[in-house]
Structure 1
Amino acid sequence: MFTRGLILAALVFLVDRLSKWWFMDVYELAKKGVVEILPIFNVVMVWNRGVSFSLFSAETETGRWILVIMTCVIVAVLAFWLRSVQARLTMVAIGLVIGGAIGNIYDRIVFGAVADFFQFHLGDWSFAVFNVADCFISLGAALLVWEAFFGSSSEKKSEKQLSP
Structure 2
Amino acid sequence: MLFYSIVIIVVAIDQLAKIWIRSSIEVGESVPFWNSVLHLTHYENSGMAHSLFQGYGRLFAVFAVLFIAGVLYYRKKGDIKGKPMDISMGFLVGGAAGNAIDRILFGKVTDFLEFTSGHGILNLADVAINIGVVLLLITAAISIILRKEIS
- Provide the rounded CA distance (Å) in 1 between the counterparts of 2:93 and 2:142: 22
What SS does structure 1 have at the residue aligned with 2:100? helix
**1:129 and 2:121 matched:** yes
What SS does structure 2 have at the residue aligned with 1:116? strand
- Structure 1 counterpart of 2:46, from 45, 49, 68: 49
**1:65 and 2:62 matched:** no
Using the size of structure 1 for normalisation, the TM-score is 0.79
What SS does structure 1 have at the residue aligned with 2:122? coil
Unaligned stretches of 5+ residues in structure 1: none
Among all aligned residue pairs of Structure 1 and Structure 2, give the percentage whose two residues are the same amino acid. Answer: 23
Question: What is the root-mean-square deviation in Å for CA atoms of aligned residues?
Answer: 2.4
What SS does structure 1 have at the residue aligned with 2:53? coil
The residue that corresponds to 1:101 in the other structure is 96
- Provide the rounded CA distance (Å) in 2 between the counterparts of 1:135 and 1:64: 19
TM-aligned CA deviation for residue 121 of structure 1: 1.8
- Provide the rounded CA distance (Å) in 2 between the counterparts of 1:117 and 1:20: 8
TM-aligned CA deviation for residue 57 of structure 1: 2.4
The residue that corresponds to 2:72 in the other structure is 79
Unaligned stretches of 5+ residues in structure 2: none
Total equivalences in the alignment: 147
- Structure 1 counterpart of 2:25, from 29, 34, 50: 29
Using the size of structure 2 for normalisation, the TM-score is 0.85
Contact (CA 8 Å) 2:27, 2:44: kept in 1 or not?
no
What SS does structure 1 have at the residue aligned with 2:116? strand
- Provide the rounded CA distance (Å) in 1 between the counterparts of 2:32 and 2:124: 18
- Provide the rounded CA distance (Å) in 1 between the counterparts of 2:54 and 2:63: 12
TM-aligned CA deviation for residue 6 of structure 1: 2.0
**1:57 is aligned with what amino acid?**
F
Per-residue deviation, residues 47-84 of structure 1 (Å, max 9, x unmatched): 11222x4353232xxx2332111111111112223332
- Provide the rounded CA distance (Å) in 1 between the counterparts of 2:64 and 2:5: 19
Contact (CA 8 Å) 2:27, 2:43: kept in 1 or not?
no
**1:110 and 2:105 matched:** yes
Contact (CA 8 Å) 2:58, 2:107: kept in 1 or not?
no
Contact (CA 8 Å) 1:82, 1:94: kept in 2 or not?
no
The residue that corresponds to 2:137 in the other structure is 145
TM-aligned CA deviation for residue 10 of structure 1: 1.4
TM-aligned CA deviation for residue 32 of structure 1: 8.1
